[in-house]
Structure 1
């Protein structure tokens, strides 16, 4: 029998998929990282990204509890790169090559605006509701591994945008007017209902699967 810490496994699994997305999609090299949230998920992400992104030289972290962010930064003091607690989320993500949101944000809590992000930033949207809809629409593309999962969730941002006709399915006819999303499974590229865009990623976890996530994007 093997007993393992489920919280550790979940956090590591999530961080591994985000790290793969950042390695694949982010501009090279990744030198700056912005973290929003300073809990267990953020810790797992930073521990892994410090190994997978060897040219990382600066990390900024924000949490709604300033002391938590400060303690988080202090916990990485011996890792060889500066980890700085900042006062607001914009200060954490602005100008960063890669961004990870790992918060407790829920519907209607979105705050991350498109002009906060550098044109080539990749965002691992772990906590699912941090982005504003206009930030999603500013992405060049979105890649999900389970379109059914994303489109079936009426509470989370992507599901709400699909129901509003603002995102369309990977196999939608580009000439057709925006409408309700069709289903598609497997690694798929979702089409925005509008065709404007800059760079972004997005991540969503399926609890029943080790690697079920939505990833995203770059132009």
Structure 2
């Protein structure tokens, strides 16, 4: 399984005997469960539950959905065959559901050849044991043993020993996007030779080889 660009694995993948396997991820989140913009970013922890194999393309597509704001209300996503079971934070109000459904309607065609149907449920249905999801006992155990949802994001110290790998991953993802945009611009303007020679682009500073170098960062472009 490849390493996601925007999600940080909280632990190794977990294998469940007789049930779906799962992975716990975290990411930065700027919206609350009702899609309202927060004054300060928080840490969001969520679970991806899957069958025998978790396709890396699904995680890439999920990151695209995340950038559209689709993950803010989500605590757990279960992927099976052609369907997604999405369990929402209990704080999600009924008035927010149409907006959440509208976002996910765009993102159900996650990648070529795969279109998913989506079923939403509240985590309350799991805790009250009223869920019709066949693996709800596994979901309940995952939710009870992991602090899923939003929590304060504690910034690491600025010295080298306290460098934050999660923040580093986010910066690297931004850098990759930055360099890709410059590459596309070069192609459109027909001035790729400038970037190859290291010369300055017209009216712009040269793009450095790495914008976010840090000796403790394991992320590489």
TM-score in same-fold range (> 0.5): no
Larger radius of gyration: 2
TM-score w.r.t. length of structure 1: 0.29
The structure with the greater share of residues assigned to strand is 2
The alignment's TM-score, normalised by the length of structure 2, stands at 0.29
